[in-house]
């Protein structure tokens, strides 16, 4: 018996199945991409680029939103066109699989339309963006703060008297007055880093041998969070920072407090800790007034710089702003600070053997000595003017 097979219908069915399968995969892939884009756009932790506060950040946010709206419009149009083409030109049961569609050379109107519209949109974006780029890179008439990136923390230096001398040096937290636009001179002491506090301004690289100028400001007091956004080695993800914005009176009080040098403690435990600091820590750290010359600019690190600890306890964080210096109830976070002093490489990835990061004192200090050293550190300055919420 001979069986006649309708190859035309069978071929059409296979074609429809393939196109249906392809369409299903396209829809699922698009859904995954949209979900990934949504997750990527969500702010993580305390760093929120979608909530600008400073005028510079608002200017960047406005341009980003404008370009996002334009890109969304293009995406919607393209997606609609794709769906229309899929539906209108899908295979049908009565189609002849061997029939070719009408062959045409092209459509000049369509080609000009999809070429000119993107050109006009890009020119418009350029007109809006280029002036903003030059404006953001300019300097203001306000005070200047020197920013230095190193593996893996930030240092901020203030020339209060404008005599060329760094009168105040802080680590990981830049303190500025409310409503004043601050000029930043951004440096790097080792590799390329990138300074970013998104609620106050965009990103600016810190490059060895170069000085990049940037500005930050905030119309309201508060603590704003940032991080390094240029991969810079092992603990790049742990290289964070904070901007502490104070009202005028609090800022002036903070400046006067920072200008006060440290003194030798009188209590027995703190004095023992002070002596331990002199034996184990002065090859890297500086404390103005008591240990200020041994490592000033000559720390035993590749960058040559370690955090100045003169007013350690006036800060809200330590170790590249990775750990809170105070608990929620306002008490000092002694347990975390003690563990950091005991074995810093275990708390934050680093390469102390290559002079990148703090060394471990597990084999050097016993428990009693650790307690004394931490007791001394707790005497370095009073509480910060603002505490993290």
DSSP three-state, residue 281? coil
| CA 10/CA 14 separation, integer angstroms | 6
* Domain presence at residue 206: no
Q: What mean pLDDT is predicted for residues 224-248?
A: 95
* Domain presence at residue 226: no
Residue found by looking up tokens 């393209």 in the block = 78
- Whether residue 143 is predicted with pLDDT greater than 50 in this model: the reply is yes
Q: What mean pLDDT is predicted for residues 347-356?
A: 92
- CATH for 22: 1.10.287.90
* Domain presence at residue 200: no
- CATH for 305: 2.60.40.420
Number of domains in the chain: 2
Q: What mean pLDDT is predicted for residues 221-236?
A: 95
Kind plus residue range of the DSSP H or E element containing 147: strand 144-150
- Whether residue 232 is predicted with pLDDT greater than 70 in this model: the reply is yes
Q: What mean pLDDT is predicted for residues 330-347?
A: 95
Q: What mean pLDDT is predicted for residues 51-69?
A: 93
* Domain presence at residue 366: yes
pLDDT (tens digit, 9 = 90+) per residue, 162-210?
A: 777 788 999 999 999 999 999 999 999 999 999 999 999 999 999 999 9
Which residues, in sequence order, are bridge partners of residue 30? none
DSSP three-state, residue 360? strand
- Whether residue 235 is predicted with pLDDT greater than 70 in this model: the reply is yes
Q: How confident is the model at residue 130 (pLDDT cuts 50, 70, 90)?
A: very high
* Domain presence at residue 147: no
pLDDT (tens digit, 9 = 90+) per residue, 292-317?
A: 776 777 888 888 899 999 999 999 99
- Whether residue 367 is predicted with pLDDT greater than 90 in this model: the reply is yes
Work out the percent of the chain whose per-residue pLDDT is above 70.
Answer: 88
- Quick one: pLDDT at residue 104? 79
Contact (Cβ atoms closer than 8 angstroms) between residue 285 and residue 299: yes
99, two tokens: 């029939």
Helices (H), 180-224: none
* Domain presence at residue 33: yes
Q: How confident is the model at residue 3 (pLDDT cuts 50, 70, 90)?
A: very low
Query: Residue 360's CB: how many other CB atoms inside 10 A?
Result: 17
- Quick one: pLDDT at residue 32? 59
Domain hosting 355: range is: 268-377
What is the crossing angle of helices 334-342 and 367-377, to 10°?
A: 120
* Domain presence at residue 278: yes
Round the average pLDDT of the chain to a whole number and report it.
87
Q: How confident is the model at residue 277 (pLDDT cuts 50, 70, 90)?
A: very high
- Paired sense of beta strands 144-150 and 153-158, if any: antiparallel
- Whether residue 1 is predicted with pLDDT greater than 50 in this model: the reply is no
* Domain presence at residue 262: no
| CA 279/CA 289 separation, integer angstroms | 17
């Amino acid at each position: 018996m001979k069986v006649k097979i309708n190859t035309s219908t069978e071929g059409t069915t296979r074609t429809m199945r393939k196109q249906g399968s392809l369409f299903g995969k396209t829809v699922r892939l698009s859904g995954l991409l949209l979900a990934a884009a949504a997750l990527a756009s969500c702010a993580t932790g305390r760093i929120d680029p979608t909530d600008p506060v400073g005028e510079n950040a608002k200017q960047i946010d406005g341009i980003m939103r404008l370009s996002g709206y334009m890109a969304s419009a293009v995406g919607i149009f393209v997606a609609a066109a794709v769906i229309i083409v899929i539906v209108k030109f899908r295979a049908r049961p009565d189609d002849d699989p061997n029939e070719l569609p009408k062959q045409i050379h092209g459509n000049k109107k369509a080609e000009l339309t999809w070429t000119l519209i993107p050109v006009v949109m890009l020119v418009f974006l350029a007109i809006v963006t280029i002036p903003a780029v030059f404006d953001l890179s300019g300097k203001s008439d306000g005070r200047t703060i020197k920013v230095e990136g190193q593996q893996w923390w930030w240092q901020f230096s203030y020339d209060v008297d404008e005599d060329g001398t760094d009168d105040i040096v802080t680590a990981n937290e830049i303190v500025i007055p409310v409503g004043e636009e601050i000029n930043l001179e951004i440096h790097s002491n080792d590799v390329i880093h990138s300074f970013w506090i998104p609620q106050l301004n965009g990103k600016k690289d810190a490059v060895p041998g170069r000085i990049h100028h940037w500005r930050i400001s905030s119309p309201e007091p508060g603590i704003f969070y940032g991080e390094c956004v240029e991969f810079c080695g092992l603990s790049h993800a742990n290289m964070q920072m904070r901007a502490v914005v104070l009202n005028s009176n609090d800022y002036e009080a903070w400046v006067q407090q920072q200008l006060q040098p440290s003194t030798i403690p009188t209590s027995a435990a703190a004095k023992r800790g002070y002596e331990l600091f002199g034996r184990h820590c002065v090859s890297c750290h500086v404390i103005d007034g008591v240990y200020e010359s041994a490592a000033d600019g000559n720390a035993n690190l590749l960058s040559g710089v370690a955090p100045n600890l003169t007013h350690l306890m006036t800060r809200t964080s330590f170790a590249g702003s990775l750990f809170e210096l105070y608990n929620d109830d306002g008490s000092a976070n002694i347990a975390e600070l003690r563990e950091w002093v005991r074995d810093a490489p275990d708390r934050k990835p680093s390469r102390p053997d290559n002079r990148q990061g703090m060394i471990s004192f597990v084999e050097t200090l016993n428990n009693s000595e650790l307690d004394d050293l931490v007791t001394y550190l707790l005497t370095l300055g009073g509480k910060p003017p603002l505490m993290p919420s």
